[in-house]
Structure 1
Amino acid sequence: MSAHLLAPRSDRVAAPSHRLLERGRPPARWLIRRWYDVRVHHPERFPAEGPVVVAGNHVGFVDGPLMAIFAPRPVHALTKLEMFDGALGWFLRRSGQIPLDRTNADPAAVRTAVRVLREGRAVGVFPEGTRGPGDLTTIRSGAAYLALVTGAPVVPLTFLGTREPGGTSSSLPPRGARLDVVVGRPMPVDAVSWPRTRDHVRLTSAALRAHMRSGLADALEETGRSLPGPLPQGDRDE
C-alpha cells in the first residue's frame, strides 16, 4: 500500500512545487552573500537523502529564507499564512513553501508536509511558533508529530545573528553582518503507526526540545555568539 494512504492520508493534497526551490538556491545564495556574511556550520551532519524534519530556533525575519536557501538540501518550510499575499505569496508558493494557519488547526498544511516527507524531501518547522529570543524555552509539537508520522529524523538548525539585540520582529541585520547557521546532530525518531497518542507526541516533543537546547548551547559556544534577547516591549510577531 502506498504510504500516502496511511493516516493521515496525503494522497489528496498537492505536492508543493520544488523546481524553483532547487534551481533558485545557488543564485539566491550568491545574492544574499553579497549583502551578508553567511556561514553554514557542519553541513555534513545533514542526511544526504531521505525525509528530514528541519527544526529551527526563531530569532529574526530572515530565518525562513536562510532555512530554505542555505540548508544543505532544499527545504519546504511551513510559513505563516499572512505571508502569502500578493507577489510575495506567489513567489513563496512557486518556491514550494507551505502556508500554515497558526491560529487554527490546519490539517491541509499538515497533510502537505507529510506528503513532502513521504516523498523523501525535507520540511522545515520553527517549533517556537513565532520570532523571539530563540532560546527554545517552549516549543510546539508540530515537528515531533511530523517525525512520528513519517519516521523522519529531526535536524536542528540554530540561527544566530539574524536579529540585533533590541531589534524588532521585522528588523533586518545591518549590511555585512555575520549570520551563522549551525546544523545540529540529527535526532532519530521511530515512526509510530496510527493511532498515535498524545503521550507519544508529548514525550517526543520533550525529547526534541532537550536535543535542540543542547545543540543551541553547543552552537553558542562554537561560534562565540549570543542570542539577541527578547523582542522590545509591545512588539509581537504577527
Structure 2
Amino acid sequence: MTPHQDPPRSDTVPHPSRWLLRGGRPAARWIIRRWYDVRVQHPERFPRRGPAVVTANHIGIIDGPLMAIFAPRPVHALTKIEMFDGRLGRFLTLTGQIPLDRFSADPLAVRMALRVLREGGAVGVFPEGTRGNGELDTFRRGAAYLSMVTGAPVVPLTFIGSREPGGHTNSIPPRRARIDIVVGQPIPVAAVPWPRLRTDVAALTDDLHQRMLTGLKDALAETGRVLPGPLPPGEAA
C-alpha cells in the first residue's frame, strides 16, 4: 500500500499544477523586485527537500503570491475558494494553488494538500484563516493536522510590509516599499497513524501557535519593523 492509500486517501485526487509554479518563479521574482524591495531573511532555514507545511501570518492580499514565488521552494498555498473565479481563478489553478472552503469542512482541499506532501512537496497554510493584523490572534488546526498525517515539519514564515498601516483589505504597498519575509526555524512533527484524536491535533495546534508567536516577535525585533495593525472598521477579508 502506498502513502496515498493511507487515510485520508489522496490517490483519487489530482496533484495541483506544477509547471508554471516551478518554471515561472524566477521571472515572477524579477518582475516583483522591479516594483518592491522584497527581502527573504534566513532562506537557509527552509528544508531543501521533503514535505513541508509552510505556515505564515496574513496581513495583505499579496501574501499568497509572495509565498508561492519567494519561498525557497515552490509552495502550493491553500487559497480561499472565492478567488477561483474568472481569469484570476484560472491563473491560480495554473500556478498550483489549492482552493479551500474556509467556512465548512473541505475534504477535497485536504486530500490535494496531502497528495502534495506525500510526494515531497510544500503546502502553504495561513492559520489565521483571513487577512488582518497578522498578530496570530487566531490559529486554526489545518497546519497541525496536515503535519501529523504526513510527518512534515512546519516551516514558519513572517510577512512584514505587505500591507501598509491603515490599508484596506485589498490594498497593496506603494512602489519601492520594503517587504520582509522571515523564515523561522522548522518545527519537527512526528507522523501519527490513523485514527488521529482531536485532542492531539488541538494540543499540537496550541504548541505551533506559541512557537509562531515567539517567531513573530523575533522577526519584528530582527527587522526593526512593526505590523500594520487591524483592517479599517467594517472591512473583512
Q: Please indicate, yes or no, whether the TM-score normalized by the shorter chain is above 0.5.
A: yes
Which amino acid is the alignment partner of residue 221 of structure 1?
A
Residue number in structure 2 paired with 1:2: 2
CA distance in 1, matches of 2:124, 2:79: 9
Residue number in structure 2 paired with 1:117: 117
Residue number in structure 2 paired with 1:138: 138
Residue number in structure 2 paired with 1:94: 94
Residue number in structure 2 paired with 1:36: 36
Residue number in structure 1 paired with 2:48: 48
SS in 2 for 1:139: coil
Give, in angstroms, the shift of residue 138 of structure 1: 1.4
Residue 76 (structure 2) pairs with residue 76 (structure 1): yes
Residue 194 (structure 2) pairs with residue 194 (structure 1): yes
Give, in angstroms, the shift of residue 110 of structure 1: 0.3
CA distance in 2, matches of 1:51, 1:43: 16
Residue number in structure 1 paired with 2:61: 61
Give, in angstroms, the shift of residue 104 of structure 1: 1.4
CA distance in 1, matches of 2:91, 2:132: 25
Residue number in structure 1 paired with 2:215: 215
Give, in angstroms, the shift of residue 211 of structure 1: 0.8
State the Cα RMSD in Å: 0.5
Residue number in structure 2 paired with 1:27: 27
Residue number in structure 1 paired with 2:227: 227
Which amino acid is the alignment partner of residue 151 of structure 1?
G
CA distance in 2, matches of 1:171, 1:94: 24
Identity of aligned residues (%): 68
Cα-to-partner distance string for 1:104-152 (whole Å, 9 max, x where unaligned): 1100000000000000000000000000000012100000000000000
CA distance in 2, matches of 1:193, 1:169: 40
CA distance in 1, matches of 2:102, 2:137: 19
CA distance in 1, matches of 2:27, 2:183: 21
Which amino acid is the alignment partner of residue 19 of structure 1?
W
CA distance in 2, matches of 1:122, 1:82: 22
Unaligned runs of 5+ in 1: none
CA distance in 1, matches of 2:112, 2:24: 21
TM-score, normalization: structure 1? Answer: 0.99
Which amino acid is the alignment partner of residue 83 of structure 2?
M
CA distance in 2, matches of 1:66, 1:156: 14
Cα-to-partner distance string for 1:147-198 (whole Å, 9 max, x where unaligned): 0000000000000001111111110000100000000000000010100001
CA distance in 2, matches of 1:35, 1:177: 8
- Count how many residue pairs are aligned between Structure 1 and Structure 2: 237
SS in 2 for 1:181: strand
CA distance in 1, matches of 2:228, 2:95: 29
CA distance in 1, matches of 2:151, 2:120: 11
Deviant stretches of 4+, over 6 Å? none
CA distance in 2, matches of 1:81, 1:219: 30
CA distance in 2, matches of 1:198, 1:108: 20
CA distance in 2, matches of 1:225, 1:236: 24
CA distance in 2, matches of 1:28, 1:163: 19
CA distance in 2, matches of 1:61, 1:99: 15
SS in 2 for 1:200: helix
Give, in angstroms, the shift of residue 83 of structure 1: 0.7
Unaligned runs of 5+ in 2: none
Residue number in structure 2 paired with 1:165: 165
TM-score, normalization: structure 2? Answer: 0.99
